[in-house]
Amino acid sequence: MNQDISYVRTEDAPLLEPPSSQIGPRAWLWENIFASMADYATPSKAIVSIMMTIITVFTAYALVWMTWTLLDFAIFSATFFDPEGLKREACLDAGGACWPFIKAKWYQFMYGFYPPEEVWRVNVCMALLAVGIAWLIFPLPHRGKVAAFMLFGYPVIAFVLLNGMPIEHDGDIGHVVSGVWFPLILAGIAFAGYWVTSHGSIGDVGEAMAPALLMAAIVLGIFAGLPLVTMTLDLALGTEVVETNKWGGLTITLVVAIFGIVISLPVGMLLALGRQSNAPIIRYSSIIFIEVVRGIPLISVLFFASAMLPYFLEPGVDFNKLLRAMIGVVLFASAYMAEVIRGGLQAIPKGQYEGGMSLGLSFWQQMRLIIMPQALTTVIPGIVNTFIGLFKDTTLVLIISIFDLLGILSATLKDPEWSTPTTAYTGYLVIALIYWIFCFGMSRYSVYMENKLDRSHR
Amino acid sequence: MSSISDSDDAVRSERSGLAALVFDAKARSLFFQAVLAILIIIAAYIAVRNAGANLAEQGREFGFDFFGRPSDIQILTTFGTWLIGYEAGKNTVFDVFLLSIANTLIIAIAGVIFATLWGFLLGIFRLSNNFVLNSFATIYIELLRNVPLLLQIFFWTAVLRLVAPGPRDAGWLVPGLLSWNSKGIYGPYPLVEPGFSYTLIAFLLACVAAWGFARWAKRRQDATGKQSSVGLVTLGLLILVPTLVFLVTGRPMTIEWPNFVTEGPILRRGFERGIGSYIAPEFFALFLALTTYTAAFIAEIVRAGIQAVPNGQSEAAGALGLPPGLAMRKVILPQAFRVIIPPLTSQYLNLTKNSSLAAAIGYPELVAVFAGTTLNQVGRAIEIIAIVILVYLTISLLTSAFMNWFNNRVKLVER
């Protein structure tokens, strides 16, 4: 077996460059654009190729045309400055966007008719909100505490800042204390009761009473503590009352949207649990609420809240229009949220409930520690979609004449000093961009969270 | 086994009387249900009592007698007013109610059909390897989904006002068929003469025949494997038979074209009212906004549905020698439909509910003209809003029922 193997290579052949048809812009163009329209082997394939060519050319033309129209409108033909204060005359001839209009009305877009000397209050609210949300989005330490503050503390602060103290008082904290001492003491007693029942061993009945006592302590504490907290804040900040009919613009949009988001999530959870319950009365009342609300448009819910609800209240009782609209939005969003969460609950295997029970956890402990964390994680995209829908739906409050961002725009478009053929388009472009940034941001965040929390095997 | 039940008994026996009741799951459930029921009854009682007191204070009564009153509001000419033959002052509030429902339904049906077509096309673009089509669909979807519909309705209204010819001018929208200006879209209107009913009957008979042929063809294919060109035969039946009857009976129909007046007093110029068919610009703006907006959502649903079909299915179809088009039609789409239909249903319902945004631009549908103008006129808030809610619920339930029936037909039959 003494063969000559000199013809066998001893080293690797040099790597060749891929053929030019496989790399570079030409290959990319071929693969991504022209490959679908180059097959003429049979008549039917030729027809498909020709149709693809026509559609592609048409679509490319549409894309270029739209991009060009937008650029031309927003930049090339636009009026940017109005140094002489000509208002509409400055924009009349250009044929493009009228940016001085946006500059002149920007304050109203942001704050509506909020008094300019008080506007720092809105800004502080927004800044706190931005910090809070940023804290929760980028995982910084103490997220739990920050989340609790944003859920319970922030609304109170935001209310006092935006609205001012609605209760008449003479600036003496003693008077407030004397007004709420009784519920305050009751809250203390209830909390002491909770402490004793949950830590001492005073029998089963006491054990069963502990959650009820805790609830009582919390309710009474809020009832008695809220005036104290708001008044202290009021004294510290010295804020005047700004009626809600002066609010407007992005401020109202955010107030309605965030109120809706914060309330609809827990209410939706309760409704979803109610719909899964074995108790018929609880189940059917949840089903009826969810299905009725989901079956009707938001406008009719808002009409219900603005035109029908006053009839069902005590004669003479009239509450704020904005609050009624917010209740309408919350009712609407909760029903959708309930269905999203129910989807998550149905995805939880039965073993998870049984595991919880076998550990001796109570129903609420099971929900809090085992079921809800998993159910909510699986339906994050659905929850965020509901939030996005809610954010877009806040525009509907303009139909019951509340001036949200879109409502303010419609109102400012009627200003004859700025009436030009392009004012409306400029306004729509800017407002659409604001909404788009919020909604697109939320949808990207949901994609990010989905990937981050994805525990499945891939 | 016995040890477990023993200890269970032991735990139970520890608890006595009241404690046993407190921890009993059934007793708890009954207790909480009773609490809820009592709360609901109290709330309902308070609401009814307050409503009575409030109505009495305003000197109003509860009742539906307002339906019979004459309605003197002016309503934009639309499908509903054409259907009812509405004239202000002559028709009753009930007629207004009916015409507003007709208007809601017509915008919903038109929107659903065109949003489905456009949405499916976009969804297929989105999955295409073609970079141009793909990026067009992506940009379109991400733009339209994330901007409020109401803003888009305002935008389309403004665009139509800008693009359309002035009220005394005319331009073609579809050359040779539809002309338009800022007052609306004008087209031909078929004036039916006696004897046209034969054509209608022929059309109905052709439908029945086509259905019968499709059944026969399917049976034959199931039994023998022979295929017949059902599509061609159906098309031929539906077009040829009515046309033949129409010609034989002496063409009992004339087409009325819109009349464009160019002479006479300036206010009379433009298209003559009541001649030819007419679509209001409000309807067109709402239709464009609803269709383009809903199509963006439908496209995403279609994409998700097609992607949910495992890759092996199209590979298997290819291995059997099916060309891509046939594989799409016979293998991929039937499976994708199972995923697509439930979310598609909710998009249809959303479109129907979103048509209520017409209230903002004055297209006379249920919310705008019944819960808006009529409510202001007769002032019966409780009755009218309750009726509006009932109508929407009925539409929702009917659509869901239909789509559930359709879903049951296409869904996977498992053991």
Residue A208 has pLDDT above 70, yes or no: no
Interval A150-194: pLDDT, tens: 877 788 788 877 877 666 666 666 766 776 777 778 888 888 887
CATH number at residue B326: 1.10.3720.10
Which residues are paired to B187 by β-bridges? B277
Distance in angstroms (rounded) separating the CA atoms of residues B252 and A243: 68
Q: Do A299 and B15 touch (CB under 8 A)?
A: no
Of all residues in chain A, the percent with pLDDT exceeding 70 is: 91
Distance in angstroms (rounded) separating the CA atoms of residues A305 and A301: 6
ipTM of the complex as predicted: 0.83
The answer for residues whose C-beta is within 8 angstroms of residue A101's C-beta and 6 or more apart is A91, A418, A420, A423, A426, A427
A245 touches chain B (CB under 8 A): no
Q: Identify the pLDDT of residue A171.
A: 61
Q: Is B159 found in the same domain as B18?
A: no
Q: Identify the pLDDT of residue A8.
A: 87
Interval A92-125: pLDDT, tens: 877 888 898 898 899 999 998 888 888 888 888 8
Of all residues in chain B, the percent with pLDDT exceeding 90 is: 31
From A265-274, B59-68, B196-205, the region with the lowest mean pLDDT: B59-68
Residue B8 has pLDDT above 50, yes or no: no
Residue of A nearest to B392 (CA): A296
Q: Is residue A353 part of a domain?
A: yes
**How far does A154 lie from chain B, in Å, by closest CA?**
27
Mean pLDDT over all residues of chain A? 84
Residue B179 has pLDDT above 90, yes or no: no
Q: Is residue A366 part of a domain?
A: yes
CATH number at residue A256: 1.10.3720.10
Average pLDDT of the residues in B169-190: 84
B74 touches chain A (CB under 8 A): no
Interval B277-293: pLDDT, tens: 888 889 999 999 999 99
Q: Is residue A85 part of a domain?
A: no
Mean pLDDT over all residues of chain B? 85
Q: Is residue A30 part of a domain?
A: no
Run of H or E residues at B283: helix B281-308
Residue of B nearest to A391 (CA): B148
Q: Is residue B109 part of a domain?
A: yes
| Residue numbers in B near A60 (CB within 8 A) | 132
The whole-angstrom distance between residue A45's C-alpha and the CA centroid of its chain comes to 48
Q: Is residue B147 part of a domain?
A: yes
Residue finishing a domain among B40, B57, B74: B57
Q: Is B377 found in the same domain as B300?
A: yes
Is residue A243 classed as helix, strand or coil in its secondary structure?
coil
Residues 359-398 of B with CB under 8 A from A: 359-360, 367, 371, 375, 381-382, 385-386, 388-389, 392-393, 396-397
Residue B413 has pLDDT above 70, yes or no: no
Q: Is B406 found in the same domain as B311?
A: yes
Residues 19-58 of A with CB under 8 A from B: 31-33, 35-36, 48, 52, 55-56
Q: Identify the pLDDT of residue A70.
A: 92
**How far does A445 lie from chain B, in Å, by closest CA?**
14
Q: Is residue A52 part of a domain?
A: yes
A365 vs A64, more confident: A64
Q: Identify the pLDDT of residue B6.
A: 44
Q: Identify the pLDDT of residue B14.
A: 53
Residue finishing a domain among A75, A101, A133: A75
A281 touches chain B (CB under 8 A): yes
Q: Do B150 and A388 touch (CB under 8 A)?
A: no
**Smallest Cβ distance to A300: which of B130, B146, B388?**
B388
Q: Is residue B130 part of a domain?
A: yes
Q: Is residue B248 part of a domain?
A: no
B251 vs B102, more confident: B102
Q: Do B15 and A204 touch (CB under 8 A)?
A: yes
B151 vs A212, more confident: B151
Q: Label the pairing between strands B253-256 and B260-261.
A: unpaired
Distance in angstroms (rounded) separating the CA atoms of residues A185 and A202: 23
B60 touches chain A (CB under 8 A): no
Distance in angstroms (rounded) separating the CA atoms of residues B390 and B411: 30
Q: Is residue A4 part of a domain?
A: no
| Residue numbers in B near A289 (CB within 8 A) | none
Q: Is residue B184 part of a domain?
A: no
Q: Is residue A241 part of a domain?
A: no
Q: Identify the pLDDT of residue A61.
A: 94
Distance in angstroms (rounded) separating the CA atoms of residues B75 and B98: 13
Q: Identify the pLDDT of residue B5.
A: 43
State the Cα angle at A435 between A429 and A440, rounded to 5°: 115
Q: How many structural domains comprise chain A? A: 2
Q: How many structural domains comprise chain B? A: 2
Interval B309-330: pLDDT, tens: 898 998 999 999 988 778 888 8
From residue A458, alpha-carbon distances to A23, A126, B304 in Å are: 30, 41, 19
Q: Identify the pLDDT of residue B4.
A: 43
A291 vs A165, more confident: A291
B50 touches chain A (CB under 8 A): yes
**How far does A436 lie from chain B, in Å, by closest CA?**
5
**Smallest Cβ distance to B131: which of A33, A298, A435?**
A33
Q: Identify the pLDDT of residue B134.
A: 92
Q: Is B405 found in the same domain as B285?
A: yes
Interval B136-156: pLDDT, tens: 999 999 999 999 999 999 999
**How far does B202 lie from chain A, in Å, by closest CA?**
35
Of all residues in chain A, the percent with pLDDT exceeding 90 is: 23
Q: Do B131 and A303 touch (CB under 8 A)?
A: no
Q: In A313-379, which residue ranges form alpha helices assigned H by DSSP?
A: 321-346, 350-358, 363-366, 372-378
DSSP codes joined into one string, B335-356: HHHHHHHHHHHHHHHHHHHHGG
Average pLDDT of the residues in B230-238: 88
Nearest Cα to B137, choosing from B292, B307, B285, B327?
B292
Residue B333 has pLDDT above 60, yes or no: yes
Q: Do B353 and A296 touch (CB under 8 A)?
A: yes
Q: In B146-249, which residue ranges form alpha helices assigned H by DSSP?
A: 149-163, 196-224, 230-248
Domain encompassing residue B154: 99-163+281-410
Domain encompassing residue A327: 246-417+446-458
State the Cα angle at A163 between A162 and A169, rounded to 5°: 135
Interval B45-104: pLDDT, tens: 988 888 888 888 877 777 788 888 888 888 888 888 888 888 878 888 888 899 999 999
Q: Is B404 found in the same domain as B307?
A: yes
Q: Is residue B29 part of a domain?
A: yes
A39 vs A262, more confident: A262
Residue A213 has pLDDT above 60, yes or no: yes
Residue B17 has pLDDT above 70, yes or no: no
**How far does B197 lie from chain A, in Å, by closest CA?**
39
B5 vs B380, more confident: B380
Average pLDDT of the residues in A219-243: 73
Residue B18 has pLDDT above 70, yes or no: no
Q: Identify the pLDDT of residue B102.
A: 93
Query: What is residue A98's DSSP assignment?
Result: B
| Residue numbers in A near B145 (CB within 8 A) | 439, 443
Residue B258 has pLDDT above 70, yes or no: yes
Residue A319 has pLDDT above 60, yes or no: yes
Q: Is B395 found in the same domain as B302?
A: yes
Q: Do A310 and B29 touch (CB under 8 A)?
A: no
Contact A378, A344 (CB under 8 A): yes
Q: Is B152 found in the same domain as B15?
A: no
Q: In a mutagenesis test of the A interface, which of B55, B132, B355 is the best target, namely the one with the most A β-carbons within 10 Å?
A: B132
Q: Do B55 and A282 touch (CB under 8 A)?
A: no
